[in-house]
Amino acid sequence: MNDPATSLNLRILGTSPPVLQASTVEQLFAEEHLTKEATVEKNWVGIMIVRRLATVLFEHAMEKGTKNWDLTISKTMSIVLLGALATRVGDICKTKFDVHDLPFLAYKDVTLQLVGGDNIEQLVGQFVIRNEKNHK
C-alpha cells in the first residue's frame, strides 16, 4: 500500500497529528491540489419539488381522508410559503431559545394587494420575517 504522503511527495513539517494535518493541507493548497472553491453547486429546493410536495399532501388527504381540512391546507401553505420566501422554518417560527413577543408569522405580518389589475398575476405580497437568523 502506498503512503499518501510519499505518493504526493509531501513535505512534512511536524510529527504530531495537528501539525501533520495542517502542514499537509497547506502544501496541498500551495500545489493547487486543493481549492477553497465549492466543488458542488448548491441545489436549492425548486418550484417543481414544492409543487410536488403540495400536490401529494392534497392527494393523500383526498384518498385517505383528513380529520380537518384546515390543518391540511395550513401544512401545505406553510411549505409553499417557505419556498416562496426562501426562508427556513426557524425564520418563520421561533425555537425554544428565542425570546420574542410574536414568535411566529402573524396575520398582521402579511399584506396582500392587487396592483394594476384584478388577476392573480397582479397579486403582490409583503411579509414581515421577524425571526430571520441571517440577512438574505
The domain total for the chain is: 3
Q: Yes or no: say if 133 and 91 are a contact pair by the CB < 8 Å rule.
A: yes
Q: What is the largest CA-CA distance in the chain?
A: 73
Residues 24 and 61 in one domain: no
Residues 99 and 82 in one domain: no
> Is the pLDDT reported for residue 110 higher than 80?
yes
Residues 107 and 134 in one domain: yes
Predicted local distance difference test score (pLDDT) of residue 35: 76
User: What is the CB-side half-sphere exposure of residue 60 using CA atoms within 13 A?
Assistant: 12
Reduce the DSSP state of residue 112 to 3 states and report it. strand
Predicted local distance difference test score (pLDDT) of residue 19: 57
Find which of 21-25, 32-36, 46-50, 98-102 is predicted with most confidence, using mean pLDDT: 46-50
Specify the length of the chain in residues.
136
What is the share, in percent, of the chain residues with pLDDT greater than 70? 66
pTM: 0.49
Residues 61 and 31 in one domain: no
Predicted local distance difference test score (pLDDT) of residue 62: 94
Average pLDDT of every residue of the chain = 76
The larger pLDDT score, comparing residue 81 to residue 19, is at 81
Residues 113 and 81 in one domain: no
Q: Which domain holds residue 6?
A: 1-40
Alpha helix stretches (DSSP H) within the chain: 4-7, 17-30, 47-64, 69-85, 89-92
